[in-house]
Amino acid sequence: MRQNLNGLKAKIHVAKAQLGLDDDTYRALLLRETGKNSCAQMGLRELEKVLTAMGRQGFQPARPNLGRRPSPRGSADAMIRKVEALLLDNGLTWAYAHGMAKRMFGVDQVHWLPDDKLHKLVAALQIHANRKREVRHGGV
């Protein structure tokens, strides 16, 4: 998956802190890998090259906190699992689903939605997934 430049720059700075690199060592690494001494001067490939080099030195990016699946009532369990599957497939968090529930229905938590509104939320997440897939595959 292609990341934007600012995201890669932020990751590099997190890696710098995690590896405990002082400024001179950090700039030496940048020069060695790309011939440039600042991330601001680099393009996508160069930033990826720096991040790979930092990975060889031991940098391990943290996994995103996806949040816990809410404990649903019995009638909503299957739909909550469907919401969870759609979130995981699309790299989204529970906070995203809760935000959609808030925007669409004025309800703060997904598991508080009545069954009919939960079906509509699943449909909206599926539409989002379909659009994302079309963009990724150069759809019609």
Lowest mean pLDDT, pick from 18-22, 103-107, 118-122, 124-128: 18-22
Write phi, then psi, for 107 (nearest 5 degrees): -110, 130
Is residue 121 within a helix (H) or strand (E), and if so which, with residue range? Answer: helix 115-136
Is residue 79 within a helix (H) or strand (E), and if so which, with residue range? Answer: helix 77-89
Report whether 54 contacts 14 (CB < 8 A).
no
- Tokens representing 2 are 């292609």
Report whether 55 contacts 25 (CB < 8 A).
no
Per-residue pLDDT band at 1 (split at 50, 70, 90): very low
- The number of beta carbons lying within 10 Å of the beta carbon of residue 56 is 7
pLDDT digits (tens, 9 = 90+) for 35-90: 998 998 998 899 999 999 998 988 887 766 656 656 666 778 888 989 999 998 88
Pairwise CA distance, residues 55 & 68, whole Å: 29
Q: Give me the pLDDT at residue 135, please.
A: 79
Radius of gyration of the chain (CA): 21
Q: Give me the pLDDT at residue 6, please.
A: 84
Please, how many CA atoms are within 13 Å of residue 17, restricted to the half-sphere of its CB?
6
pLDDT digits (tens, 9 = 90+) for 10-38: 889 999 988 898 999 999 999 999 999 89
The dihedral through the CA atoms of 96, 102, 108, 112 has a sign that is negative
